[in-house]
């Protein structure tokens, strides 16, 4: 295709916002402005991949919309004739039309090393080449370009902090942040005279969060025809419940407040921050801003470095250092990005991943026969009891108040402290339920406002001792661990209000309270109901489960298989383990979407019958909406959870 003709010789630029919803310290935006364009279109493409195939609950949707509205206002503050343009169409179809219609010469964006992001961008680059449009893609999401990190790590995934730090040293000093632009070019004319391509209706992993049908693809420019950011109503998504708000303005305020507390910033040590603290929390809560790029990681990094230098000179004491310091936290983030950048899709799953130990967890994922990738939200229910434990864990009904408080905080607010994440992840996997870490990672994907594939998958691997960390005998107690931080259990009183009047002595172990006291404190510990006057008994004996899990972990470590071993892929691993797991049987269920996240949750349970003998290959021979087979105790549990 011949190159488009331009009226002037100046570039006409699309700036494509994706992982960088900010104006400050954006190397890619700077590159776009350095082109000295005749016009600049700041756009966001409403990509069906994220709308339907990534698991996103109401709180993260709201956070994204907050970021978009704030960005749009900040753009308009610099140029009243400009704003963020949200185009309700996927990038692969809309961009070629825009290039033509708007006579675009360049498209500029922040580099994305996520597996899907890379695949999408490769396609866009091909299409741009065909259309004679120049592509400028610049790293800015991490301290160092993750591809450069991998290269300096000998072409390997960064699996330890030391590897990241060594690669970082070779790459040299992290660039200082770039100041925000003082002006922005005008938009070009906003012609949208082309046909709108709507996505093909496919499986919607977020259906359970919608109270109405998604209308976001009805028109290209949204209900007001102004290309403004959508609302939750337009998406049909239920209202958000989080108090955490997104956007560059809030992010910068939050960061500046943290940096102004020089002692906190300089002496921060992650293991000394209380996971039981919630208002205010003990750590920075900047992770969702880093995820959406509403706060530049380098801006924060250099802010910390400057404070640390000043603190060390002040004679007030010695600043903390990695891995426990704030800089250490940012380095961990880069380490996971380096691993993900190298391994792509296989980073976030066991099967096919050479770095992940194989543990025969319950509720393993179903794989796509063609790609070998996990089909998000689908798994084998190979053990009914484990499925019940998993659902009880997810909805905060385990009977262990510490675990339930955290899981309810996560669902309600979309953020929990790092050590809280440790506690619930350890409990679900190697320290209690022995459920696959991929199940937990999916729940986090759905509910976290800071969900980041690299960090989520990487940290779940760490906590389940499948990669990055191997001390599986270090298990978090759901009683002794929170007691160490908060004897009176304020976090439980806040998020498990049934127990708010319990005495400190029983707050983490309410089942031990005498019946008369249970009555006096207005909440009976029993399993046959879930109203505000009852709270369940613990779903298992924790000590017994811990011992059982430790035995299984030791066995798996001794067997020594990894995600890329043939025995793991073909299912013959079973012959190497004892039969205690019981994950055999001829009919398996898998569920797509959510068992129960809302009123229509049960509608979204999908069952699939797996042909006997094909369990390991994941061959689905029949699939239909709504459970066709009684799920026994599971149904009862779902009903009880819904009632609560």
Ligand X SMILES: Cc1cc2nc3c(=O)[nH]c(=O)nc-3n(C[C@H](O)[C@H](O)[C@H](O)COP(=O)(O)OP(=O)(O)OC[C@H]3O[C@@H](n4cnc5c(N)ncnc54)[C@H](O)[C@@H]3O)c2cc1C
Q: Which range of residues in 129-137, 159-167, 418-426, 598-606 is near ligand X by CB under 6 A?
A: 418-426
Do 359 and 390 meet the contact criterion of CB atoms below 8 Å apart? no
CB of residue 397 vs ligand X: minimum separation in angstroms?
Answer: 20
Count CB-CB contacts under 10 A for residue 303. 19
Check: CB of residue 361 under 8 Å from CB of residue 549: no
CA separation for the pair 172, 220 (Å, rounded): 44
Question: Cis peptide before 323, with omega less than 30 degrees from 0?
Answer: yes
* Of the candidates 194, 183, 204, 246, the residue with the CA atom closest to the CA atom of residue 87: 194
**To the nearest whole angstrom, how small is the minimum distance from the Cβ of residue 174 to ligand X?**
14
For ligand X, which is the closer residue by CB, 19 or 456?
A: 456
| DSSP at 40 | E
**Of 114, 144, 122, whose CA–CA distance to 18 is shortest?**
114
Q: Is 418 in the site for ligand X (CB under 6 A)?
A: yes
Minimum Å gap between C-beta 308 and ligand X is 14
To the question of whether residue 429 is assigned a binding role by annotation, the answer is no
Closest separation between CB of residue 591 and ligand X, Å?
21
285 binds ligand X, rule: CB under 6 A: yes
Among residues 63 and 332, whose Cβ is nearest to ligand X?
A: 332
72 vs 329 by CB, closer to ligand X: 329
Q: In terms of CB distance, is 185 or 458 closer to ligand X?
A: 458
Is 350 a binding residue for ligand X by CB under 6 A? The answer is no
Annotated ligand binding at 45? The verdict is: no
According to CB under 6 A, which residues from 223 to 282 bind ligand X? 270
Q: Establish whether 8 is an annotated binding residue.
A: no
Distance in Å, CB of 335 to ligand X, minimum: 8
Near ligand X in 431-460, by CB under 6 A:
444, 448, 450-452, 455-456, 459-460
Nearer to ligand X, 90 or 293 (CB): 293
Pairing state between β 534-535 and 524-525: parallel
Asked if residue 591 binds ligand X (CB under 6 A), the reply is: no
The answer to the question of residue 56 lying near ligand X (CB under 6 A) is no
Residue 227 annotated as part of some ligand binding site: no
Q: CB of 291: closest distance to ligand X in angstroms?
A: 6
Q: Do the strands 85-87 and 39-45 form a parallel or antiparallel pair, or are they unpaired?
A: parallel
How far apart are the C-alpha atoms of 47 and 453, rounded to whole Å? 17
Asked if residue 286 belongs to a known ligand binding site, the reply is: yes
Paired residues of 534 in beta bridges: 524
Q: Is 336 assigned to a binding site? A: yes
DSSP 323-360: TTSHHHHHHHHHHHHHHHHHHGGGGGSSTT-TTSBP--
Annotated binding residue 15: no
Least separation, in Å, of the C-beta of 461 and ligand X?
A: 9
Residue among 395 and 444 whose Cβ is closer to ligand X: 444
Query: Quick one: 361 or 460, whose CB is closer to ligand X?
Result: 460
- Minimum Å gap between C-beta 303 and ligand X is 12
Task: Decide: is 378 part of the binding site for ligand X (CB under 6 A).
Answer: no
Task: Round to whole Å and give the CA distance between 147 and 171.
Answer: 11
Compute the distance between CA of residue 534 and CA of residue 562 in angstroms, rounded to an integer: 44
Is residue 329 a contact residue for ligand X (CB under 6 A)? yes
379 φ, ψ to 5°? -160, 160
Look at residues 319, 191, 278 and name the one whose alpha carbon lies nearest to residue 486: 278
The one-character DSSP state at 185 is P
In angstroms, the CA 483 to CA 129 distance is 60
Strands (E) located in 64-157:
85-87, 106-110, 134-138
* 285 annotated to a ligand binding site: yes
Q: Least separation, in Å, of the C-beta of 460 and ligand X?
A: 5
For residues 595 and 243, what is the distance between their CA atoms, to the nearest angstrom? 25
For residue 425, state whether it binds ligand X (rule: CB under 6 A). Answer: yes
Q: Across-strand partners of 622?
A: 609
Establish whether 164 is an annotated binding residue.
no
* Stretch 454-493: interaction string toward ligand X, x if CB under 6 A: -xx--xx--x------------------------------
Asked if 301 is part of the footprint of ligand X (rule: CB under 6 A), the reply reads: no
What is the 3 state secondary structure string of 256-273? Answer: HHHHHCHHHHHHCCHHHC
Q: Is 395 annotated as a binding residue?
A: no
| Residue 91 or 482 with smaller CB distance to ligand X | 482
Smallest distance, ligand X to C-beta of residue 258, A? 8
Pick the closer one to ligand X by CB: 102 or 460: 460
Site for ligand X in 308-327 (CB under 6 A): 326
CA dist 79 and 74 (Å) reads 9
What dihedral do alpha carbons 251, 254, 260, 264 form, nearest 10°? -120
Comparison of 285 and 581: residue with beta carbon closer to ligand X = 285
Nearest approach, Cβ of 333 to ligand X (angstroms)? 3
- Interface residue with ligand X among 59, 105, 265, 284 (CB under 6 A) is 284
Nearest distance in Å: CB 476, ligand X: 11
Q: Is 286 in the site for ligand X (CB under 6 A)?
A: yes
Give, in order, the Cα–Cα distances in Å from 2 to each of 5, 95, 217, 622.
Answer: 9, 17, 31, 49
Measured in degrees and rounded to the nearest 5, phi and psi for residue 346 equal -70, -15
Q: Is the four-CA dihedral 121, 48, 50, 181 of positive or negative sign?
A: positive
Size of the site for ligand X (CB under 6 A): 28
331 is in an annotated binding site: yes
Out of 220, 330, 449, 627, name the contact with ligand X by CB under 6 A: 330
Cα–Cα distance between 618 and 632 in angstroms, integer?
Answer: 24
Ranges within 86-145 binding ligand X (CB under 6 A): none
Contact at 8 Å (CB) between 363 and 440? no
Q: Between 294 and 391, whose beta carbon lies closer to ligand X?
A: 294
Whether the ω angle into residue 280 lies within 30 degrees of 0, i.e. cis, is yes
Q: Shortest Cβ distance from residue 371 to ligand X (Å)? A: 23
Count each helix (H run) and each strand (E run) in the chain, helices first: 24, 11
Joined together, the tokens standing for residue 183 give 């002006």
How many Å is the Cα radius of gyration of the chain? 25
* 3-state class (DSSP) for residue 375: strand
The three-state secondary structure class of 315 is coil
Question: Does residue 72 have a known ligand-binding role?
Answer: no
Piece of 84-92, 124-132, 286-294, 466-474 that binds ligand X (CB under 6 A): 286-294
Q: In the bound complex, what is the minimum distance in angstroms from residue 451's beta carbon to ligand X? A: 4
As a whole number of angstroms, the distance between CA 407 and CA 402 comes to 9
Of the candidate residues 332, 434, 468, 540, the single one contacting ligand X (CB under 6 A): 332
- Is 290 a binder of ligand X (CB under 6 A)? yes
Determine if residue 332 is labeled as part of a ligand binding site. Answer: yes
* Options 422, 436, 546, 588; binder of ligand X; rule CB under 6 A: 422
- Numbered residues of the known binding site: 283-287, 329-336
Contact residues toward ligand X (CB under 6 A) are 270, 283-287, 290-291, 326, 329-330, 332-333, 336, 418, 421-422, 425, 444, 448, 450-452, 455-456, 459-460, 463
- Numbered residues of the known binding site for FAD: 283-287, 329-336
């Amino acid at each position: 295709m011949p190159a488009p003709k331009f009226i002037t010789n100046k570039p006409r630029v699309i700036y494509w916002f994706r992982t960088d919803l900010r104006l400050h310290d954006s190397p890619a935006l700077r590159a776009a402005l350095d082109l000295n364009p005749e016009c600049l279109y700041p756009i966001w493409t409403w990509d069906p991949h994220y709308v339907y195939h990534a698991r996103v609950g109401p709180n993260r949707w709201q956070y994204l919309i907050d970021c978009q509205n704030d960005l749009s206002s900040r753009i308009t503050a610099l140029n009243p004739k400009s704003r963020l343009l949200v185009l309700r169409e996927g990038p692969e179809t809309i961009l070629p039309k825009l290039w033509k219609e708007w006579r675009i010469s360049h498209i500029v964006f922040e580099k994305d090393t996520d597996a899907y992001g890379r695949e999408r961008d490769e396609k866009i680059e091909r299409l741009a080449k065909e259309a004679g449009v120049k592509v400028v893609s610049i790293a800015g999401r991490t301290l160092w370009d993750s591809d450069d990190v991998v290269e300096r790590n000998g072409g390997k995934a960064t699996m330890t902090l030391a590897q990241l730090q060594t690669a970082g040293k070779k790459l040299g000093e992290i660039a200082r942040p770039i100041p925000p632009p003082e002006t922005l070019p005008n938009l070009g004319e906003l012609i949208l005279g082309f046909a709108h391509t709507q996505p093909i209706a496919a499986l919607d992993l977020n259906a359970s969060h919608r109270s109405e049908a998604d209308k976001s693809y009805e028109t290209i420019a949204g209900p007001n025809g102004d290309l403004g950011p959508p609302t939750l109503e337009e998406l049909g998504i239920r209202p958000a419940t989080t108090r955490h708000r997104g956007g560059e303005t809030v992010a910068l305020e939050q960061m500046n407040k943290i940096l102004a507390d020089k002692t906190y910033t300089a002496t921060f040590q992650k293991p000394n921050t209380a996971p039981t603290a919630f208002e205010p929390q003990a750590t920075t809560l900047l992770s969702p801003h880093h995820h959406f790029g509403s706060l530049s990681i380098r801006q924060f990094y250099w802010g910390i470095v400057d404070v640390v230098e000043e603190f060390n000179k002040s004679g007030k004491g010695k600043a903390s250092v990695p891995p426990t310091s704030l800089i250490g936290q940012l380095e961990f983030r880069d380490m996971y990005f380096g691993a993900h950048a190298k391994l792509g899709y296989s980073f976030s799953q066991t099967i096919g991943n050479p770095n992940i130990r194989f543990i025969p967890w319950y509720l393993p994922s179903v794989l796509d026969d063609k790609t070998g990738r996990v089909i998000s939200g689908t798994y084998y229910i190979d053990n009914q009891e484990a499925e019940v434990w998993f659902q009880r864990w997810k909805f905060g009904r385990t009977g262990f108040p510490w675990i339930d408080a955290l899981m309810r905080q996560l669902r309600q607010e979309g953020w929990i402290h790092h050590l809280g994440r440790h506690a619930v992840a350890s409990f679900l996997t190697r320290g209690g339920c022995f459920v696959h870490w991929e199940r937990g990672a999916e729940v986090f994907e759905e509910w976290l406002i800071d969900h980041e594939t690299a960090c989520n998958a990487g940290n779940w691997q760490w906590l389940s001792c499948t990669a990055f960390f191997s001390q599986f005998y270090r298990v978090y107690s759901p009683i002794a661990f929170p007691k160490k931080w908060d004897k009176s259990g304020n976090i439980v009183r806040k998020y498990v209000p049934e127990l708010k009047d319990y005495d400190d002595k029983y707050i983490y172990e309410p089942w031990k309270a005498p019946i008369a006291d249970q009555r006096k404190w207005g909440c009976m510990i029993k399993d046959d109901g879930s109203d505000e006057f009852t709270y369940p008994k613990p779903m298992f004996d924790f000590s017994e489960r811990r011992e059982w899990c430790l035995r299984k972990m030791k066995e798996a470590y001794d067997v020594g298989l990894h995600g890329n071993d043939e025995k793991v892929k073909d299912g013959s691993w079973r012959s190497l383990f004892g039969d205690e797991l019981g994950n055999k049987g001829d009919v398996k269920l898998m569920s797509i979407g959510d068992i129960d996240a809302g009123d229509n949750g049960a509608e979204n349970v999908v069952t699939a019958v797996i042909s006997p003998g094909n369990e390991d290959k994941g061959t689905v021979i029949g699939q239909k909406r709504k459970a066709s087979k009684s799920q026994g105790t599971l149904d009862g549990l779902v009903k009880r959870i819904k009632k609560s």
